[in-house]
Amino acid sequence: MKKLIELLRLMRPHQWVKNAFVFVGLLFGHAWHDPHLVTQAVIAFVAFCLVSSAIYTINDIVDIEQDRQHPKKCKRPLASGSVSVPAAVILAVLLGGLGLALAYNASQIVLLILIGYALINIAYSLRLKHVVILDVFIIATGFMLRILAGTLGIGIPPSQWLLLCGLMVTLFLGFTKRRAEIIALSEDKTTHRKVLEHYSPVLLDKMIGVTAAGLIMSYSLYTMNADTIRIHNTPNLIYTVPFVMYGVFRYIYLLHHQNRGGDTAHDLVRDPHLIIVVGAWAVTTFLLIA
């Protein structure tokens, strides 16, 4: 039983919350009432969960030595020795194969998107995570592919505004992640992640400010756009902007005053303010466009 628990930890199921981006298309495409599209989206979500867990496992195999020197990552199953490398390899192959099979069951486009996601993230684990700025754009690309799987992949035309807002929020989260790592690791930052030697607190704070402003502005303009009002048959989405602003400001506060931001999935489910504001935004948005 303990071995199974460690294998489950290696899969990082708490990170599956990121795959909820797959469902964005159902909400903003008014497709939640279509059982076929909902089923396809759920299958795509599960496929992303399995493949992303396979990628996390591969990443932990690649980073096993660096993780052993990290104050928190040293407790991960591979770094601590509770799971062997051969067992991790087998787990990654099984998860990846099952995930791709499910993706094909959703649609061929979802399968192609998921293959692209896997290849990009493997390249990230092996090399691209060491390239300054590009590393954060690779992280953002993973989220964008989730949105495309839940829109283009299941037959829902993706909104350009939706893609722009998605890009801004994922870049914001990516740069806050790097800032949190610098705060947590202090002088030993380059030992654990080489790319951090190319970042500085001032540089990252500027990038966070730019992407936070871009996120708020792009979402605000989206809510006031004539096409948005026509598609959703309401001009009142503008009233959801304060939820977005509060969420962004709260996340920046957690980054600087509570040393959070290194793990978005953990922060979203552990901070009551973020839980409430995300829930309030989701409920209000659904009620307005439903």
Asked whether the beta carbons of 78 and 10 are under 8 A apart, the reply is: yes
Same domain, 153 and 163: no
Q: How many domains in the chain? A: 2
Residue 44 sits in which domain range?
Answer: 1-158
pTM surpassing 0.95?
A: no
Please say which residue of 107, 125, 158 terminates a domain.
158
User: Quick one: which of 203, 113, 214 has its CA closest to 169?
Assistant: 214
Same domain, 2 and 122: yes
Same domain, 52 and 130: yes
How do residues 136-178 score in pLDDT, each as one tens digit? 999 899 999 999 999 999 998 888 888 899 899 999 999 998 9
Alpha-carbon gap, residue 182 to 255, rounded angstroms: 11
Please say which residue of 104, 123, 158 terminates a domain.
158
Same domain, 217 and 283: yes
Same domain, 151 and 163: no
Same domain, 285 and 263: yes
Cβ-based neighbour number of residue 82 at 10 Å: 16
Helix 35-62 to helix 2-11 angle, to the nearest 10 degrees?
Answer: 100
Same domain, 115 and 173: no
DSSP string, 90-112: HHHHHHHHHHHHHHHHH-HHHHH
Same domain, 144 and 176: no
How do residues 210-264 score in pLDDT, each as one tens digit? 999 999 999 999 999 998 899 889 999 999 999 999 999 999 999 888 777 666 7
Please say which residue of 158, 185, 213 terminates a domain.
158
Same domain, 133 and 4: yes
Structure tokens at 226: 């004539």
Same domain, 16 and 132: yes
Tokens 């959801």 found at: 240
Which pLDDT value is given to residue 31? 85
DSSP string, the chain: -HHHHHHHHHH-GGGGGGGGGGGHHHHHTT-TT-HHHHHHHHHHHHHHHHHHHHHHHHHHHHTHHHHHTSTTGGGSHHHHTSS-HHHHHHHHHHHHHHHHHHHHHH-HHHHHHHHHHHHHHHHHHHTGGGSTTHHHHHHHHHHHHHHHHTTGGGT-PPPHHHHHHHHHHHHHHHHHHHHHHHHHHGGGHHHH-GGGGG--HHHHHHHHHHHHHHHHHHHHHHHH-HHHHHHHT-SGGGGGHHHHHHHHHHHHHHHHHS---S-HHHHHHH-HHHHHHHHHHHHHHHHHH-
Flag whether pLDDT at 67 surpasses 90. no
Please report which confidence band the pLDDT of residue 104 belongs to, taking 50, 70 and 90 as the band edges. Answer: very high
Same domain, 191 and 273: yes
- Write the CATH number for 149: 1.10.357.140
Same domain, 146 and 189: no
Which pLDDT value is given to residue 98? 96
Helix 134-149 to helix 160-185 angle, to the nearest 10 degrees?
Answer: 140
